[in-house]
């Protein structure tokens, strides 16, 4: 079932960001709903707001986060509900030329959630770096989740997702 949570969006170039209700859809087969515990504030989020990345407003900001897996799609095998994870913006394919050469940082085919998060009027959101974690919960591809020690401080662990 889809759910309504709060998220911080950038609606228009340069305008102040807004805290609004957003809809998290049911996860697709390989998608995961993550309850965000902590999310750093990074200059890249400001760059999104300023139109420095692309023009695909509205953006759901936030991309260096840690949280707990809440629900998983029917085909997810990498994580399970309750796992503590860091979100990463490069979910690499493992199959392409770059991945096979041991250079996944240049992967040609990275993954994100298969269904969009939206505003309450149905407008699709563009999650910053495919994450969008200035929100109570976010939707990502299972490959974007990296399990970490649950004793790690979420505010520190989340920074790894960006750095
Ligand atoms: Zn690849
Ligand atoms: Zn960042």
Q: Residue 42's closest CA among 144, 138, 132?
A: 132
Q: Examine the pLDDT at 148 and tell me if it is beyond 90.
A: yes
Domains of the chain: 3-159 (3.90.180.10)
Ligand nearest to the CA of 41: 2
Reported pTM: 0.93
Q: CA dist 146 to 2, 12, 25, 64, 161, Å? A: 24, 32, 22, 12, 9
Q: 100: part of which helix (H) or strand (E)? A: helix 97-100
Tokens of 55: 């023009």
15-51 pLDDT per residue, tens: 999 999 999 999 999 999 999 999 999 999 999 999 9
76-87 pLDDT per residue, tens: 999 999 999 999
- Taking the centre of ligand 2 as the mean of its atom positions, its distance from the CA of residue 24, in whole angstroms, is 22
CA distance 68 to 33: 9
Q: CA dist 137 to 14, 60, 90, 99, 109, Å? A: 25, 11, 19, 30, 25
- Taking the centre of ligand 1 as the mean of its atom positions, its distance from the CA of residue 108, in whole angstroms, is 5
DSSP state of 124: B
- Taking the centre of ligand 1 as the mean of its atom positions, its distance from the CA of residue 13, in whole angstroms, is 32
Asked if residues 137 and 70 have their Cβ atoms less than 8 Å apart, the reply is: yes
């Amino acid at each position: 079932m889809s759910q309504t949570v709060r998220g911080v969006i950038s609606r228009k170039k340069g305008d102040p960001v807004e805290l609004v209700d957003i809809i998290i859809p049911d996860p697709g087969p390989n998608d995961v709903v993550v309850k965000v515990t902590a999310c750093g504030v990074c200059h890249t989020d400001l760059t999104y707001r300023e139109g420095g990345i692309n023009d695909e407003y509205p953006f759901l900001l936030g991309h260096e986060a840690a949280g707990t897996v809440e629900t998983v799609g029917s085909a997810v095998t990498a994580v399970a509900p309750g796992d503590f994870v860091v979100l990463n913006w490069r979910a690499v394919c493992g199959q392409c030329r770059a991945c096979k050469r041991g250079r996944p940082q240049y992967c040609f085919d990275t993954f994100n959630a298969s269904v969009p998060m939206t505003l309450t009027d149905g407008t699709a959101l563009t999650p910053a770096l495919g994450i969008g974690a200035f929100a109570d919960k976010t939707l990502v591809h299972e490959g974007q989740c990296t399990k970490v020690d649950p004793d790690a401080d979420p505010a520190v662990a989340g920074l790894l997702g960006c750095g």
